[in-house]
Amino acid sequence: MKNTLQLFSFFFIVFFFNTKAQTGISVSPPRLYFESAAGVSNTEKVTVTNVSAKNSLDLAVSLGDWEYDVKGENQMHPANSLPTSCTGWITIKKEDTYFSLAPGERRDIEITITSPTAAKDNLSAHTALLYVSQMNPVDDVDSKGANIKVSIRSGIKIFHKKPEATKKKLEITDLKFDTAKKTLNLSFENQAEIWVDGKVNADILNAGNGKKTTLNPIVFYTMPGNKRQMEIALPTTLEKGKYTASVLVDYGDAENLELGELNFSYE
């Protein structure tokens, strides 16, 4: 007799077990950006689609908080528990907080943010998290033939900023070579009042033969005050020798690129 398992999927992705899976939701866009002055309301739409082939889904909408850790991973928290939270500013129509979707059916949900007339803090950027959760787990079968219960939970990040907050600023604070892990260890900090996203590009130059190796870019996301630690892996085929690493943090401002250089020996 096959065992029955109950599995759940959380946060920011629609989870598919395998090609046989018949349950899933699509929530778009994955991020909502709001900009408004004190006391002003803004409304955006989120589209929720039941991509299941045969199952109707009962869905509930709720709010929470989130933040990045030092590695850039998402950390979830209860609503209105972080200093940066704007969950208390968000309103959703009552009929959009719990609803059902037939297979292939979609629904638009209106999300309204009204920034407070009297600011609760001096922050220029705030965040929240919108959850869309399946309330009726359905039967399915995994790739090994085991019976499972599938329940989906997807999340949308919400960002809000003041109109006057526009300046972006990142600063590299450290760049080292880890001889044990064979990685470049980069540390940088978001010194702006708003979120700053971008990518890290790195080149390494062999001082002996002049050969340059360009590494794959790494995308990053930061919020104000975030301190980030990033490991940049070097190619396993890299020759032994002395190198100069050039690491560029590009966050969309051509006049304020952050560049760090490091000389190291690869043994």
The DSSP result for 128-157, as a single string, is EEEEEEESS-EEEE-TTS-EEEEEEEEEEE
238 and 208 assigned to the same domain: yes
79 and 186 assigned to the same domain: no
Pairing of the two strands 138-141 and 125-134: unpaired
14 and 138 assigned to the same domain: yes
Question: What's the pLDDT score for residue 22?
Answer: 56
Q: Give residue-wise pLDDT tens across range 46-99.
A: 999 999 888 899 999 999 999 999 999 999 999 999 999 999 999 999 999 999
Question: How far apart are alpha carbons 253 and 259 in whole angstroms?
Answer: 13
Q: Give residue-wise pLDDT tens across range 161-188.
A: 999 999 999 999 999 999 999 999 999 9
Phi, psi of 115 (to 5 degrees): -70, 140
Of 138, 161, 184, which one is at a domain's C-terminal end?
161
Bond into 29 cis (ω within 30): yes
Of 161, 194, 226, which one is at a domain's C-terminal end?
161
> Does residue 116 contact residue 89 with C-beta atoms inside 8 Å?
yes
Binning pLDDT at 50, 70 and 90, where does residue 12 land?
Answer: very low
Of 161, 192, 211, which one is at a domain's C-terminal end?
161
DSSP annotation of 1:
-
Q: How many domains does the chain have?
A: 2
27 and 149 assigned to the same domain: yes
157 and 202 assigned to the same domain: no
Q: What is the mean pLDDT of the chain?
A: 89
Q: Give residue-wise pLDDT tens across range 218-252.
A: 999 999 999 999 999 999 999 999 999 999 999 98
Query: For residue 13, is pLDDT > 60?
Result: no
135 and 198 assigned to the same domain: no
Query: For residue 21, is pLDDT > 60?
Result: no
CA neighbor of 161 nearest in space, from 77, 84, 221, 91: 84
80 and 190 assigned to the same domain: no
97 and 218 assigned to the same domain: no
Domain ranges, residue 55: 4-161
187 and 99 assigned to the same domain: no
> Where do we find the tokens 């929240």?
128
Q: Give the pLDDT mean for 103-130.
A: 95
Question: What's the pLDDT score for residue 150?
Answer: 76
Domain containing residue 44: CATH number: 2.60.40.10
54 and 149 assigned to the same domain: yes
Question: What's the pLDDT score for residue 53?
Answer: 86
100 and 155 assigned to the same domain: yes
204 and 109 assigned to the same domain: no
